[in-house]
Structure 1
Amino acid sequence: MASPCLARTDRNMMVMFNWEEFLSPILLSLKISLLSSVIVFSLGLIAAWYMARRQFIGKTIVETLFMLPLVLPPTVVGFALLVSLGRRSWVGQLVESLFNQPLVFTWEAAVIASVVISFPLVYQTLKVGFMSIDRDLEESARSIGASERQVLWFISLPLAWPALLSSYILGFARGLGEFGATLMIAGNIPGKTQTIPTAIYVAVDTGKMGLALYWVLSIVITSFVMLMIVNRKKRE
């Protein structure tokens, strides 16, 4: 039998639960992740295709820069973005002059943070997919007059389809769980820039453990389903 104190705590958690407060970070996180995953997938596709097919001086340095956000603390990446895109930078000043508002502490800044953080994972997955393609098939297509664009669209992309799907899902999931860089450049403004990870942090800090638990469950279930899809495609 539950103690009166525990039962009273459960009732208080139910009373304090607010659907609008619960759904707001989820919807914003989904919007940010959807947009950032499309952007990072497009950038990663171009970069991976070029790097998998070209040799040039300084390639190792370029690839190291691509992978750097994977090993740096997210707060370091967030600081670099804050300095690069803040109101004192030329980029921040240009954006503010064009749109009459600063770039930092907006949901668009959270999109940028998600793109930068998830890029190494997307890039590496796509590059491995392109490098696993039999080069003789591509050369055969070129020998009968196919252009590089035709080789890409009709040979390389179909053969690399599992890697394409995996990279997009991993990019989406990584963007959904991004915390440190987002907090640095976008802040944690409820209804404006508060994502699921930042909402969980604030909920735990303010003692709203029940609300934090629901957010944790939502992001764990979503990430689990996405990773399960990726693992299934790898086995096919």
Structure 2
Amino acid sequence: MEALLTEVNWSPLFISLKTGIVATILAFFIGILAARFVMKLGNTMKWIVDGILTLPLVLPPTVAGFFLLLLFSLKRPIGKYLWINTGVKVVLSWPGCVLAAAVIAFPLMYRNARAAFEQVDVNMIAAGRTLGMSERKIFWKIVMPIAMPGIVSGTVLTFARAIGEYGATSMLAGNILGKTQTIALAIASEVSAGNFEVAGFWVTVIVILSFVIVLAINMISGKGMKQMRRWTM
């Protein structure tokens, strides 16, 4: 075991965690904004926009990765503009890992946030308006606290999906050791090379991380249900 730990390159763990954290932060804010925006739309537009925003959840990750590659390749306008004007290169780089993970994990944040907002009692919002509260104040003082358990659960799920992303990441960011190789990519690489002990080690690491995340979701859900019972009593 000690020999195995010495042999293992720990960069995939750090890259996965770093990628997961940044991608989750991006998905968190964009997901909440998107959820609020969609809720204000009429039924027909709501269904269309919701379908578009949910697509990364149902499409094969490689398809999402292909579209991202088309958009951010240095030969395409967006990728070329970013490279020339900001020096940011998305393809075969760590920003590509973050972008791929954020896009694939985003629907989980968006759908959980929307479901949490839709469960807020409209009478409480109406009461806030009656008291002269602005829409922004109602959102932060009434809607967000009530919806928080669902939003936190969505955030944890988003992080779990982001650190486990493989298909889109491999297409957009590649599999470069120490730069873009996440745990999921490391497992595939070690299996291809016949290093099953190292692959098994990374599988164990990701299983433990996943279990901790599921445990956190269960704890958050339990606390959320207790809060809901207090509010309804």
Both structures adopt the same fold (TM-score exceeding 0.5):
yes
Aligned to 1:128: 115
Q: Spell out, residue by residue over 1:55-86, the C-alpha distance to the aligned partner (whole angstroms, 9 max, x if none).
A: 26522111100111111111000000000111
Q: How many residues end up aligned between the 2 structures?
A: 223
Whether the 8 Å contact between 2:31 and 2:110 is mirrored in structure 1 is yes
For 2:211 and 2:40, locate their aligned partners in 1 and report how far apart those are by CA, in whole Å.
Answer: 33
Aligned to 1:182: 169
**Helix, strand or coil: the match of 2:10?**
helix
Q: Spell out, residue by residue over 1:173-225, the C-alpha distance to the aligned partner (whole angstroms, 9 max, x if none).
A: 00000000000000000001000000000001101111111111111111111
Whether the 8 Å contact between 1:44 and 1:119 is mirrored in structure 2 is yes
Whether the 8 Å contact between 1:79 and 1:184 is mirrored in structure 2 is yes
How do 1:85-234 and structure 2 match up within 5 A? 85-100=72-87, 102-234=89-221
Tell me which amino acid in the other structure corresponds to 1:175: A
How do 1:20-59 and structure 2 match up within 5 A? 21-55=8-42, 58-59=45-46
Shift of residue 136, structure 1, vs aligned partner? 0.6
Tell me which amino acid in the other structure corresponds to 1:49: R
TM-score under structure 2 length normalisation: 0.91
**Helix, strand or coil: the match of 1:18?**
helix
For 1:97 and 1:122, locate their aligned partners in 2 and report how far apart those are by CA, in whole Å.
Answer: 32
Tell me which amino acid in the other structure corresponds to 1:26: L
Aligned to 1:18: 6
Which shifted more, 93-102 or 106-115? 93-102
For structure 2, which runs of at least 5 residues remain unmatched after alignment?
224-233
TM-score under structure 1 length normalisation: 0.90
For 2:88 and 2:161, locate their aligned partners in 1 and report how far apart those are by CA, in whole Å.
Answer: 28
Percent pairwise identity: 38
For 1:15 and 1:170, locate their aligned partners in 2 and report how far apart those are by CA, in whole Å.
Answer: 34
Rg comparison, structure with higher value:
1
For 1:72 and 1:124, locate their aligned partners in 2 and report how far apart those are by CA, in whole Å.
Answer: 16
Whether the 8 Å contact between 2:90 and 2:96 is mirrored in structure 1 is yes
For 2:95 and 2:6, locate their aligned partners in 1 and report how far apart those are by CA, in whole Å.
Answer: 26
For structure 1, which runs of at least 5 residues remain unmatched after alignment?
1-12
For 1:16 and 1:179, locate their aligned partners in 2 and report how far apart those are by CA, in whole Å.
Answer: 24
Superposed structure 1 runs of 4+ greater than 6 Å apart? none
Tell me which amino acid in the other structure corresponds to 2:197: G
Which shifted more, 109-118 or 49-58? 49-58
